[in-house]
Amino acid sequence: MKQLKLDISIPKERYKIISSTVTDLGTNKVCPSVMIVNRSLLNFRQKEAFAWGCQITICLTELLENGLLTKESEAKVNNLQCLIDGKIKESVESPNALFVVKEIQNGICKLHYQVRDAKSTKRILKKLNNQNLFDLEWDYEICYDEEWADTEWVWDYFKLPWHTVVKYRPEFYNEHGHYTKDEWTSICDVDKVYDGHKFTLKEYIEVENNYVNFITDIMEYSEMEFVSVRRFNLYDSISNQIAKDKRFREINEPLKDMDRSLRKGARIHRSKIGGYIRACLRELAEISFENKGKGFELDFGYDYYMHIRSSLPVEQLSQIARQNDLFLDPR
């Protein structure tokens, strides 16, 4: 069946070679590992158009010398890949398949594609497999994978490093990274005594505001109008949690309808992000946010720890943190 022409811009393939080592769990030997990644798909957004994951596995065990392919064997594998690649893509202008990554390790070569038409791809691969091409043993598997979850790990090699943002002063961390000062870690600690001082709700709100302002500053400097909900988890609806918690009901009241708009992929404007951050810090919800185009991610840990990825320079991130009485990577 002829494919309909895609109204999608398909980026030209650009490759990055990533070399590393892996430990064979069976023999406990360290083996070389090589990946060739189509890095032009890093920020590809129309994933749902190529909703089927296709993995082609080629057995290399008999072709290796010292854990690596010989030149002759490498040529065989490359020739098979080129043939498969051309057949399942079908068209340059409106391809049926996108090449994602080729990985070689532990005597196995895996080719990962995302395809549009699973039936057509299966038919092509079955025909090729029956021809015993290039004297290679190989097989294939096609599964529905609209979110490209099977190859999500690949993009971790390209992501920016995580940074930790906290209210805790660096000088109170010991050499093991443990915070040694007796200090509040949750909104539940309001009215408790620390170092002879009663921790007040007003003081809590001041610190919470610093966290909110830090993120809105990051978004402003990064020219981000929106972030998207990457994942979320609710123990109970936010409105129910607020109704049950009489102690903080008044300050939580503005957040009571927030869970109605919570869904994966929901876009949150910069002017609205503060409420979602407060819900996370007050332990009403677990939400992580992202803006893939800007390389931004935001997540929350225990004890008032906040974690971010950002394309802004570390020096600028640290400065923005200090301006909001916070600390970047204090340990």
Q: How far apart are CA 104 and CA 122, in angstroms?
A: 23
Sequence-ordered list of residues with C-beta below 8 angstroms from that of 129, at least 6 positions apart, any chain = 138, 139, 140
Q: How far apart are CA 284 and CA 298, in angstroms?
A: 17
pLDDT for the residue 20: 75
Beta bridge partners of 157: none
Beta bridge partners of 137: 59
Which residue is associated with the tokens 């966290």? 211
pLDDT for the residue 26: 56
Work out whether the CA dihedral 136, 141, 146, 147 comes out positive or negative.
negative
Q: How far apart are CA 179 and CA 171, in angstroms?
A: 9
Sequence length of the chain is 331
Contact (Cβ atoms closer than 8 angstroms) between residue 154 and residue 272: no
263: buried, middle or exposed (CB in 10 Å: 19+, 13-18, 0-12)? exposed
Out of 95-109, 197-211, 274-288, least confident range: 95-109
Which residue is associated with the tokens 């398949």? 97
Q: How far apart are CA 55 and CA 133, in angstroms?
A: 18
pLDDT at 6 over 60: no
The overall average pLDDT reported for the chain is 90
- Summarised one tens digit per residue, pLDDT across range 127-136 is 999 998 888 8
Mean pLDDT, range 1-11, rounded to an integer: 64
Contact (Cβ atoms closer than 8 angstroms) between residue 44 and residue 114: no
- Outline which parts of the chain fall under CATH 3.30.70.100: 15-157
For the chain, the distance separating the N- and C-terminal CA atoms, rounded to the nearest angstrom, is 59
pLDDT at 156 over 90: no
50: buried, middle or exposed (CB in 10 Å: 19+, 13-18, 0-12)? buried
What share of the chain has pLDDT > 90, as a percent?
69
- Summarised one tens digit per residue, pLDDT across range 170-220 is 999 998 888 999 999 999 999 999 999 999 999 999 999 999 999 999 999
- Summarised one tens digit per residue, pLDDT across range 23-75 is 555 555 667 788 999 999 988 889 999 999 999 999 887 766 665 667 888 88
Backbone dihedral angles phi then psi of residue 304, each to the nearest 5 degrees: 70, 30
pLDDT for the residue 152: 87
Q: How far apart are CA 154 and CA 17, in angstroms?
A: 12
Mean pLDDT, range 265-293, rounded to an integer: 94
- Angle CA 280–285–286, to nearest 5: 80
> Which of the listed ranges 146-150, 186-190, 293-297 does the model predict with the highest average pLDDT?
186-190
* Other Cβ atoms within 10 Å of 230 Cβ, number: 16
Say if pTM beats, i.e. exceeds, 0.75: no
Query: Residue 274: which H helix or E strand, with range?
Result: helix 273-281
Backbone dihedral angles phi then psi of residue 91, each to the nearest 5 degrees: -145, 140
- The CATH code of domain 15-157 reads 3.30.70.100
